[in-house]
Amino acid sequence: MKVAVVGGGPIGLALALMLARENHEVHLFEKGSWPRDKACGQGLMPSGLKILEELDITFKEGEDCYSFQGVDYIDGPFNIHGILRRPGVGIERTVLSDRLVSKCRQNPLITLHEETTILGISNYPNQVELKWSNGKERFHYAFACDGLHSPLRKKLANRKVRTGEWRMGAREHFNVKPWSQNVEVYWQDGIEAYVTPVTNEKVEVAFLWFEDAISPNGPLKEALWQRFPELREKCPQKSAQGDFRGHGPFSTYAKDILKEKVFFVGDAYCFLDGITGEGLSLGLKGAQILAKNFTKWNWWHALVFRMHYFHYKAMVRLALGLSYNKRYRRLLFRLVQTAPKSFNMILRLNDF
């Protein structure tokens, strides 16, 4: 079959490779150029790393990635420590993008359309037509991997607006040696800071917060760092790479997985906060399900796809509830400290 993938982030590129492995002719459309960057957490959990390894995507430890063993949650004087079933990796999004696009360029079944924006989409019997500035073409199916604010989701009237308060995100890199073999998550009321080592000489700090947790007045960057003075000491401003970037709000998601011969996957389907790297791992799992089953898609495949998201959503809602309630959060910390292996089990269940 001839299929189109719209969006050249990690999920779109990985999906293109998966579809080519199933002997489909793949056209991938990316409105920008590669390598792609994004303001996001840069941890990749073991399940996501395993999928990339199956695609023959490899990294050099210490040079372009950093293996982490687990996750530490830190709330003032309280600390809980969890070990994963197998190591995950911290990796800059541009490095991951470069590895994936290089592999796609080597595949004769994949055609990459760089700096190409999809302007229109039309449906025909058993086909979908995509239009761009200097061409149009029909495909048996299309896959929307075009991100958090997915234009295809909007064009096909397949979006819903989240109820409740919206979340925001930002990130910055620092040229400092990692001080921990784990990802560290620092909690403040309504705000979290995620520290992920990405090489032997660099760490990323990503922030997630509820909109009303930060005053709209004044510089955003300073407002975030003021909440984490102990982390500021470990990441002095002189070591910053000067790449502070924000992203959000995380306000919409897709109503349906499949709409008019177009499948939605990754952030185009649904964005979820995670402990670290679950968003990317979840998108890769969804891509894997679609690549193997889209030609015979039925209620069972849709249920399996949705169950992955339901599992993560339950964990995320618990974490977000604790984010705003210091009393319950610290009670949980005390309980976990009395049975440390329980947190290991939670981490491993969260990355099946």
pLDDT in the model for residue 337:
73
Spatial separation of the C-alpha atoms in residues 315 and 321, rounded to whole Å: 10
Is the torsion defined by CA of 149, 296, 287, 282 positive or negative? positive
Q: What is the pLDDT of residues 293-325, one digit of tens each?
A: 999 999 999 999 988 877 666 666 666 666 666
pLDDT, residue 352, reads 66
Q: Note the pLDDT of residue 315.
A: 66
- Residues 52-71 have pLDDT tens digits of 999 999 898 888 899 999 88
Do the Cβ atoms of 208 and 279 come closer than 8 Å? no
Q: How far is it, in rounded angstroms, from Cα 52 to Cα 109?
A: 19
Contact, 29 vs 7, CB < 8 A? Answer: yes
Q: Which DSSP helix (H) or strand (E) runs through 139?
A: strand 135-139
pLDDT score recorded for residue 40: 82
| Residue in this structure with the two tokens 């894997």, named with its chain if needed | 288
| Residues in the chain with pLDDT values less than 50 | none
Q: How many CB atoms lie within 10 A of CB 59?
A: 19
Judging by DSSP bridges, how do beta strands 66-75 and 43-44 pair with one another?
unpaired
Find out whether 77 and 127 touch, Cβ atoms under 8 Å.
no
- Tokens representing residue 105 in the block: 């360029």
> Domain 2-45+95-163+252-324 carries which CATH code?
3.50.50.60
Q: What are the two backbone dihedrals, phi and then psi, of residue 317, each rounded to the nearest 5 degrees? A: -65, -35
Q: Are 70 and 182 in contact (CB under 8 A)?
A: yes
So what's the pLDDT on residue 324? 66
Report how far residue 59's alpha carbon sits from residue 53's, in angstroms, rounded to the nearest whole number: 10
For the chain, the C-alpha Rg in angstroms (whole number) is 20
Task: Specify the pLDDT at position 323.
Answer: 66
**How many residues does this entry show for the chain?**
352
Residue 320 is predicted with a pLDDT of 65
Look at residue 318 in the predicted model and tell me its pLDDT. Answer: 66
DSSP code at position 214: S
